[in-house]
Structure 1
Amino acid sequence: MAKPTTENLTLPAFPVTMVRELDKHFIHDEINLKEMLANTNKGLILYFYPKDNTPGCTTQATEFTSHLNEFADLGYDIIGVSRDSVESHEKFITKHNLHIALISDTDEKLCQYFDVIKEKNMYGNITLGLVRSAFVFDADGNLTHAQRNLRAKGYTDRLLEILAN
Protein backbone atom coordinates (compact mmCIF):
# COMPACT_ATOMS: atom_id res chain seq x y z
CA MET A 1 0.00 0.00 0.00
CA ALA A 2 1.45 3.35 -1.02
CA LYS A 3 1.61 5.99 1.65
CA PRO A 4 -0.50 9.02 0.85
CA THR A 5 1.07 12.44 0.99
CA THR A 6 -0.48 15.11 3.21
CA GLU A 7 -1.92 16.74 0.08
CA ASN A 8 -3.90 13.65 -0.94
CA LEU A 9 -4.50 12.13 2.48
CA THR A 10 -7.86 10.46 2.94
CA LEU A 11 -9.29 8.26 5.64
CA PRO A 12 -8.31 4.63 5.13
CA ALA A 13 -10.85 1.93 4.34
CA PHE A 14 -9.29 -0.85 6.45
CA PRO A 15 -10.67 -1.85 9.90
CA VAL A 16 -9.14 -0.61 13.16
CA THR A 17 -9.93 -1.43 16.80
CA MET A 18 -11.59 1.37 18.75
CA VAL A 19 -12.09 1.42 22.53
CA ARG A 20 -14.57 3.64 24.30
CA GLU A 21 -16.37 3.69 27.60
CA LEU A 22 -20.13 3.84 27.86
CA ASP A 23 -21.94 3.67 31.21
CA LYS A 24 -18.88 2.21 32.99
CA HIS A 25 -18.51 -0.55 30.37
CA PHE A 26 -15.90 -0.76 27.66
CA ILE A 27 -16.97 -1.21 24.08
CA HIS A 28 -14.50 -2.54 21.53
CA ASP A 29 -15.47 -1.95 17.92
CA GLU A 30 -13.81 -2.96 14.69
CA ILE A 31 -14.46 0.15 12.64
CA ASN A 32 -13.61 1.47 9.23
CA LEU A 33 -12.90 5.21 9.61
CA LYS A 34 -14.03 6.04 6.09
CA GLU A 35 -17.37 4.25 6.59
CA MET A 36 -17.77 5.68 10.10
CA LEU A 37 -17.42 9.22 8.78
CA ALA A 38 -19.83 8.52 5.93
CA ASN A 39 -22.47 7.44 8.47
CA THR A 40 -22.33 10.65 10.52
CA ASN A 41 -22.83 14.31 9.78
CA LYS A 42 -19.66 15.18 11.65
CA GLY A 43 -16.06 15.74 10.83
CA LEU A 44 -13.30 13.78 12.53
CA ILE A 45 -10.21 14.79 14.47
CA LEU A 46 -7.75 11.91 14.46
CA TYR A 47 -4.80 12.55 16.72
CA PHE A 48 -1.77 10.33 17.21
CA TYR A 49 0.13 10.19 20.49
CA PRO A 50 3.12 8.10 21.62
CA LYS A 51 2.05 6.30 24.81
CA ASP A 52 -0.81 5.96 27.28
CA ASN A 53 -0.27 7.38 30.78
CA THR A 54 2.79 9.46 29.94
CA PRO A 55 2.75 13.14 30.95
CA GLY A 56 2.35 14.78 27.53
CA CYS A 57 -0.10 12.18 26.25
CA THR A 58 -2.19 12.45 29.40
CA THR A 59 -2.23 16.25 29.10
CA GLN A 60 -3.38 16.02 25.50
CA ALA A 61 -6.09 13.42 26.17
CA THR A 62 -7.49 15.27 29.19
CA GLU A 63 -7.52 18.56 27.25
CA PHE A 64 -9.45 16.93 24.40
CA THR A 65 -11.87 15.47 26.96
CA SER A 66 -12.38 18.82 28.68
CA HIS A 67 -13.16 20.50 25.33
CA LEU A 68 -15.25 17.65 23.94
CA ASN A 69 -18.49 19.66 23.89
CA GLU A 70 -16.83 22.58 22.10
CA PHE A 71 -15.52 20.28 19.37
CA ALA A 72 -18.96 18.61 19.12
CA ASP A 73 -20.58 22.05 18.75
CA LEU A 74 -18.23 22.68 15.81
CA GLY A 75 -19.28 19.32 14.34
CA TYR A 76 -16.32 17.07 15.15
CA ASP A 77 -15.76 13.71 16.79
CA ILE A 78 -12.34 13.05 18.34
CA ILE A 79 -10.41 9.79 18.27
CA GLY A 80 -6.93 9.28 19.72
CA VAL A 81 -4.54 6.73 18.23
CA SER A 82 -1.51 5.03 19.72
CA ARG A 83 0.28 1.70 19.44
CA ASP A 84 -0.89 0.71 22.93
CA SER A 85 -3.06 -2.34 23.54
CA VAL A 86 -6.80 -2.34 24.16
CA GLU A 87 -6.11 -3.17 27.81
CA SER A 88 -3.72 -0.23 28.14
CA HIS A 89 -6.35 2.06 26.60
CA GLU A 90 -8.96 0.83 29.08
CA LYS A 91 -6.65 1.65 32.02
CA PHE A 92 -5.81 5.06 30.51
CA ILE A 93 -9.49 5.90 30.01
CA THR A 94 -10.38 4.81 33.54
CA LYS A 95 -7.45 6.45 35.32
CA HIS A 96 -8.00 9.86 33.69
CA ASN A 97 -11.78 9.74 33.19
CA LEU A 98 -11.41 10.21 29.43
CA HIS A 99 -14.52 10.60 27.30
CA ILE A 100 -12.86 10.21 23.92
CA ALA A 101 -12.51 7.04 21.89
CA LEU A 102 -9.05 5.54 21.42
CA ILE A 103 -7.76 3.32 18.64
CA SER A 104 -5.38 0.51 19.48
CA ASP A 105 -2.95 0.31 16.57
CA THR A 106 -0.67 -2.45 17.82
CA ASP A 107 0.12 -3.58 14.27
CA GLU A 108 1.01 0.05 13.35
CA LYS A 109 -1.08 -0.15 10.18
CA LEU A 110 -2.82 3.19 10.80
CA CYS A 111 0.41 4.82 12.02
CA GLN A 112 2.18 3.72 8.86
CA TYR A 113 -0.69 4.89 6.67
CA PHE A 114 -0.49 8.38 8.20
CA ASP A 115 3.33 8.21 8.22
CA VAL A 116 3.67 9.20 11.88
CA ILE A 117 6.43 6.78 12.87
CA LYS A 118 9.80 8.47 12.52
CA GLU A 119 13.34 8.20 13.82
CA LYS A 120 13.79 9.95 17.15
CA ASN A 121 16.95 10.72 19.06
CA MET A 122 16.44 9.71 22.69
CA TYR A 123 19.52 10.49 24.79
CA GLY A 124 21.83 9.75 21.87
CA ASN A 125 20.02 6.56 20.82
CA ILE A 126 18.15 6.54 17.52
CA THR A 127 14.79 4.79 17.88
CA LEU A 128 11.58 4.64 15.89
CA GLY A 129 8.80 6.47 17.67
CA LEU A 130 5.36 7.84 17.06
CA VAL A 131 5.36 11.56 16.29
CA ARG A 132 2.53 13.47 17.97
CA SER A 133 0.28 14.55 15.09
CA ALA A 134 -3.30 15.55 14.32
CA PHE A 135 -5.42 15.28 11.19
CA VAL A 136 -8.80 16.98 10.78
CA PHE A 137 -11.31 15.73 8.24
CA ASP A 138 -14.55 17.51 7.40
CA ALA A 139 -17.89 15.68 7.18
CA ASP A 140 -17.19 14.87 3.51
CA GLY A 141 -13.88 13.21 4.40
CA ASN A 142 -11.66 16.02 3.09
CA LEU A 143 -8.49 16.77 5.02
CA THR A 144 -8.78 20.35 6.27
CA HIS A 145 -5.90 20.56 8.74
CA ALA A 146 -2.80 18.49 9.48
CA GLN A 147 -0.04 19.09 11.95
CA ARG A 148 2.94 16.93 12.85
CA ASN A 149 5.42 17.34 15.70
CA LEU A 150 2.87 19.24 17.73
CA ARG A 151 3.18 20.11 21.39
CA ALA A 152 0.64 18.42 23.64
CA LYS A 153 -0.05 21.23 26.08
CA GLY A 154 -2.42 23.83 24.68
CA TYR A 155 -2.90 22.17 21.29
CA THR A 156 -6.65 21.71 21.79
CA ASP A 157 -7.08 25.46 22.37
CA ARG A 158 -5.11 26.23 19.20
CA LEU A 159 -7.11 23.68 17.22
CA LEU A 160 -10.43 25.07 18.49
CA GLU A 161 -9.31 28.51 17.33
CA ILE A 162 -8.40 27.17 13.88
CA LEU A 163 -11.69 25.30 13.48
CA ALA A 164 -13.82 28.21 14.71
CA ASN A 165 -12.47 30.53 11.97
Structure 2
Amino acid sequence: MAKPTSETIELPDFPVTLVRKLDGHFIEDNISLKELIAHTDKGLILYFYPKDNTPGCTLQATEFTTYVSTFEDLGYSIIGVSRDSADSHKSFIDKHDLHIPLISDTDERLCQYFDVIKEKNMYGKMTMGLVRSAFVFDKQGDLTHAQRNLRAKGYTDRLLQMLTP
Protein backbone atom coordinates (compact mmCIF):
# COMPACT_ATOMS: atom_id res chain seq x y z
CA MET A 1 0.00 0.00 0.00
CA ALA A 2 1.16 3.52 -0.73
CA LYS A 3 2.49 5.61 2.12
CA PRO A 4 0.21 8.37 3.37
CA THR A 5 1.02 11.82 2.09
CA SER A 6 1.28 15.02 4.07
CA GLU A 7 -1.21 16.71 1.73
CA THR A 8 -4.82 16.77 2.85
CA ILE A 9 -6.73 16.88 -0.42
CA GLU A 10 -10.11 15.22 -0.52
CA LEU A 11 -11.58 13.87 -3.72
CA PRO A 12 -13.91 16.63 -4.94
CA ASP A 13 -17.59 15.93 -5.57
CA PHE A 14 -18.32 18.43 -8.34
CA PRO A 15 -18.98 17.28 -11.93
CA VAL A 16 -16.14 17.06 -14.48
CA THR A 17 -16.21 16.45 -18.24
CA LEU A 18 -14.86 12.97 -18.91
CA VAL A 19 -13.94 11.93 -22.46
CA ARG A 20 -13.33 8.29 -23.36
CA LYS A 21 -13.54 6.02 -26.35
CA LEU A 22 -15.59 2.85 -26.12
CA ASP A 23 -16.13 0.44 -29.01
CA GLY A 24 -14.92 3.03 -31.51
CA HIS A 25 -17.25 5.78 -30.28
CA PHE A 26 -16.50 8.75 -28.07
CA ILE A 27 -18.46 9.19 -24.89
CA GLU A 28 -18.50 12.53 -23.12
CA ASP A 29 -19.92 12.42 -19.58
CA ASN A 30 -20.41 14.96 -16.83
CA ILE A 31 -19.66 12.94 -13.73
CA SER A 32 -18.08 13.45 -10.32
CA LEU A 33 -14.82 11.78 -9.32
CA LYS A 34 -16.62 10.31 -6.31
CA GLU A 35 -18.97 8.53 -8.71
CA LEU A 36 -16.00 7.27 -10.73
CA ILE A 37 -14.10 5.95 -7.72
CA ALA A 38 -17.16 3.92 -6.72
CA HIS A 39 -16.52 1.72 -9.77
CA THR A 40 -12.93 0.86 -8.80
CA ASP A 41 -11.64 -1.97 -6.65
CA LYS A 42 -8.92 -0.06 -4.77
CA GLY A 43 -8.86 3.51 -5.99
CA LEU A 44 -8.19 6.18 -8.55
CA ILE A 45 -5.05 7.65 -10.10
CA LEU A 46 -5.58 11.20 -11.26
CA TYR A 47 -2.72 12.70 -13.23
CA PHE A 48 -2.46 16.25 -14.51
CA TYR A 49 -0.53 17.11 -17.66
CA PRO A 50 0.03 20.42 -19.47
CA LYS A 51 -1.17 19.89 -23.05
CA ASP A 52 -2.47 17.29 -25.48
CA ASN A 53 -0.11 16.17 -28.27
CA THR A 54 3.08 17.59 -26.77
CA PRO A 55 6.07 15.24 -26.46
CA GLY A 56 6.14 14.72 -22.67
CA CYS A 57 2.37 14.55 -22.33
CA THR A 58 2.10 12.08 -25.21
CA LEU A 59 4.85 9.92 -23.67
CA GLN A 60 3.08 9.89 -20.32
CA ALA A 61 -0.35 9.09 -21.79
CA THR A 62 1.01 6.28 -23.98
CA GLU A 63 2.92 4.80 -21.01
CA PHE A 64 -0.27 4.80 -18.93
CA THR A 65 -2.11 3.20 -21.87
CA THR A 66 0.58 0.51 -22.14
CA TYR A 67 0.10 -0.43 -18.48
CA VAL A 68 -3.61 0.32 -18.07
CA SER A 69 -4.49 -3.38 -17.62
CA THR A 70 -1.73 -3.76 -15.01
CA PHE A 71 -3.14 -0.83 -13.03
CA GLU A 72 -6.65 -2.28 -13.42
CA ASP A 73 -5.39 -5.66 -12.15
CA LEU A 74 -4.12 -3.79 -9.07
CA GLY A 75 -7.62 -2.27 -8.70
CA TYR A 76 -6.88 1.28 -9.87
CA SER A 77 -8.47 3.38 -12.60
CA ILE A 78 -6.34 6.02 -14.34
CA ILE A 79 -7.65 9.36 -15.54
CA GLY A 80 -5.65 12.14 -17.18
CA VAL A 81 -6.55 15.81 -16.71
CA SER A 82 -5.60 18.87 -18.73
CA ARG A 83 -7.11 22.22 -19.61
CA ASP A 84 -7.64 21.11 -23.22
CA SER A 85 -11.13 20.95 -24.75
CA ALA A 86 -13.12 17.75 -25.13
CA ASP A 87 -12.53 17.92 -28.91
CA SER A 88 -8.78 18.20 -28.34
CA HIS A 89 -8.96 15.16 -26.05
CA LYS A 90 -10.85 13.18 -28.70
CA SER A 91 -8.17 13.97 -31.26
CA PHE A 92 -5.39 13.09 -28.75
CA ILE A 93 -7.07 9.77 -27.88
CA ASP A 94 -7.56 8.92 -31.55
CA LYS A 95 -4.11 9.96 -32.74
CA HIS A 96 -2.25 7.94 -30.07
CA ASP A 97 -4.79 5.12 -29.53
CA LEU A 98 -5.10 5.98 -25.85
CA HIS A 99 -7.09 3.60 -23.64
CA ILE A 100 -7.47 5.92 -20.68
CA PRO A 101 -10.20 8.51 -20.12
CA LEU A 102 -9.30 12.20 -20.04
CA ILE A 103 -10.93 15.07 -18.19
CA SER A 104 -11.41 18.34 -20.02
CA ASP A 105 -10.91 21.05 -17.40
CA THR A 106 -11.31 24.15 -19.59
CA ASP A 107 -12.64 26.21 -16.68
CA GLU A 108 -9.62 25.10 -14.57
CA ARG A 109 -11.88 24.22 -11.64
CA LEU A 110 -10.21 20.86 -11.02
CA CYS A 111 -6.72 22.27 -11.66
CA GLN A 112 -7.33 25.04 -9.13
CA TYR A 113 -8.78 22.59 -6.61
CA PHE A 114 -5.57 20.52 -6.80
CA ASP A 115 -3.41 23.67 -6.98
CA VAL A 116 -1.50 22.51 -10.07
CA ILE A 117 -1.40 25.82 -11.94
CA LYS A 118 1.81 27.62 -11.05
CA GLU A 119 4.07 30.32 -12.41
CA LYS A 120 6.59 28.84 -14.84
CA ASN A 121 9.53 30.22 -16.76
CA MET A 122 9.01 29.59 -20.49
CA TYR A 123 12.00 30.76 -22.52
CA GLY A 124 12.68 33.62 -20.13
CA LYS A 125 9.05 34.71 -19.87
CA MET A 126 7.02 34.02 -16.72
CA THR A 127 3.64 32.41 -17.49
CA MET A 128 1.02 30.49 -15.58
CA GLY A 129 1.13 26.82 -16.52
CA LEU A 130 -0.05 23.43 -15.39
CA VAL A 131 2.53 21.52 -13.36
CA ARG A 132 2.70 17.79 -14.18
CA SER A 133 1.36 16.07 -11.06
CA ALA A 134 -0.26 12.83 -9.92
CA PHE A 135 -2.59 11.98 -7.06
CA VAL A 136 -3.61 8.50 -5.89
CA PHE A 137 -6.82 8.04 -3.92
CA ASP A 138 -7.98 4.91 -2.14
CA LYS A 139 -11.50 3.49 -2.50
CA GLN A 140 -12.80 5.79 0.26
CA GLY A 141 -11.50 8.87 -1.60
CA ASP A 142 -8.60 9.49 0.78
CA LEU A 143 -5.34 10.72 -0.74
CA THR A 144 -2.56 8.14 -0.35
CA HIS A 145 0.09 9.58 -2.67
CA ALA A 146 0.78 12.93 -4.28
CA GLN A 147 3.65 14.02 -6.46
CA ARG A 148 4.12 17.39 -8.09
CA ASN A 149 6.70 18.52 -10.66
CA LEU A 150 7.12 14.95 -11.80
CA ARG A 151 9.01 13.82 -14.88
CA ALA A 152 6.87 12.15 -17.52
CA LYS A 153 9.46 9.61 -18.61
CA GLY A 154 9.41 6.54 -16.40
CA TYR A 155 6.80 7.83 -13.96
CA THR A 156 4.41 5.01 -14.83
CA ASP A 157 7.03 2.42 -13.82
CA ARG A 158 7.80 4.25 -10.58
CA LEU A 159 4.09 4.46 -9.74
CA LEU A 160 3.56 0.77 -10.49
CA GLN A 161 6.44 -0.17 -8.20
CA MET A 162 4.95 1.91 -5.43
CA LEU A 163 1.46 0.40 -5.79
CA THR A 164 2.55 -3.22 -6.26
CA PRO A 165 2.29 -5.21 -3.00
Same fold (TM over 0.5): yes
Match of 2:48 in 1: 48
SS at match of 2:135: strand
Cα RMSD (Å) = 1.3
The count of residues paired between Structure 1 and Structure 2 equals: 161
Match of 1:74 in 2: 74
State yes or no: 1:35 paired with 2:54: no
Within 5 A, what are the aligned runs for 1:136-155?
Answer: 136-155=136-155
C-alpha separation between the residues in 2 aligned to 1:34 and 1:79?
13
When structure 1 is superposed on structure 2, of 5-14 and 23-32 the one drifting more is 5-14
Go from structure 1 to structure 2 and tell me whether the alpha carbon gap of 1:26 and 1:6 turns closer, same or farther (over 3 Å shift). Answer: farther
Shift of 1:34: 1.4
Determine what percentage of the aligned residue pairs are the same residue: 75
Shift of 1:85: 0.2
C-alpha separation between the residues in 1 aligned to 2:113 and 2:75?
25
Within 5 A, what are the aligned runs for 1:49-64?
Answer: 49-64=49-64
Q: Deviations over 1:47-90 (max 9, x none)?
A: 00000000000000000000011101111000000000000000
Shift of 1:6: 5.7
Match of 1:127 in 2: 127
Within 5 A, what are the aligned runs for 1:16-27?
Answer: 16-27=16-27
C-alpha separation between the residues in 1 aligned to 2:42 and 2:21?
20
* Code of the aligned partner of 2:38: A
Match of 1:95 in 2: 95
SS at match of 1:99: coil
Shift of 1:36: 2.2
SS at match of 1:26: strand
Match of 2:111 in 1: 111
Q: Deviations over 1:121-149 (max 9, x none)?
A: 01110000000000000111111110000
Shift of 1:105: 0.1
* Code of the aligned partner of 1:72: E
* Code of the aligned partner of 2:89: H
C-alpha separation between the residues in 1 aligned to 2:6 and 2:97?
32
Match of 2:156 in 1: 156
* Code of the aligned partner of 2:163: L
**Do 2:40 and 2:76's aligned partners in 1 also have CA atoms closer than 8 Å?**
no
